[in-house]
């Protein structure tokens, strides 16, 4: 996780207090905290309350999702940016050494999504 955070030059990491594995709560935030400690570029960790587990908290870095979302307006103006603006990085499993990431750009990925909705899901204006 630390390597991927560094690769993306991430300023924010989104996680949850925990997830569920075999029906039981499983901690997620400790692994994120460890990775963020190795990557000095992260400014905030946005935490979704999912399991209600006790977690370590850094008041200078950690932010609850529900607190941030509750303070946002119901509407916003989308920001315009170039079609080659990075959208996300999709990594391989890493079985051949260091995981390799492919960078998806906003224009290319969203064009494919729009085409898939039109062609595969038959989503037409009517």
The per-residue pLDDT for range 95-113, each reduced to its tens digit, is: 777 778 889 999 999 999 9
Residues whose CB is less than 8 angstroms from the CB of residue 2 and which lie 6 or more positions away in sequence, other chains included: 34, 35, 36, 38, 39
HSE toward the beta carbon, residue 72, CA cutoff 13 A: 9
User: Quick one: pLDDT band at residue 55, thresholds 50, 70, 90?
Assistant: very high
Residue 64 CA to residue 45 CA, distance in Å, equals: 8
| Number of domains forming the structure of the chain | 2
**What pLDDT digit, counting tens, does each position of 29-54 carry?**
999 999 999 998 999 999 999 999 99
Element (H, E) at 45: strand 44-48
| Mean pLDDT score across all residues of the chain | 93
Instruction: Specify the pTM.
Output: 0.80
Task: State which residues form the domain around 118.
Answer: 80-126
* Closest-CA residue to 66 (of 51, 82, 52, 47): 47
Residue 94 pLDDT greater than 70, yes or no:
no
Average pLDDT (85-97) is 82
Residues 63 and 102 in one domain: no
Task: Examine the domain organization and report whether 64 and 118 are in the same domain.
Answer: no
- Do 57 and 31 lie in a common domain? yes
């Amino acid at each position: 996780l630390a390597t991927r955070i560094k690769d993306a030059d991430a300023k924010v990491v989104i996680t949850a207090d925990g997830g569920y594995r075999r029906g039981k709560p499983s901690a997620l935030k400790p692994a994120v905290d460890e990775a963020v400690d190795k990557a000095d570029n992260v400014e905030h960790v946005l935490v979704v309350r999912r399991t209600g587990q006790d977690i370590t908290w850094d008041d200078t870095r950690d932010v609850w999702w529900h607190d941030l979302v509750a303070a946002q307006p119901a509407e916003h103006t989308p920001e315009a940016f170039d079609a080659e603006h990075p959208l996300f990085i999709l990594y391989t499993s890493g079985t051949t050494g260091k995981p390799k990431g492919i960078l998806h750009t906003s224009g290319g990925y969203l064009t494919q999504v729009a085409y898939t909705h039109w062609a595969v899901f038959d989503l037409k204006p009517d």
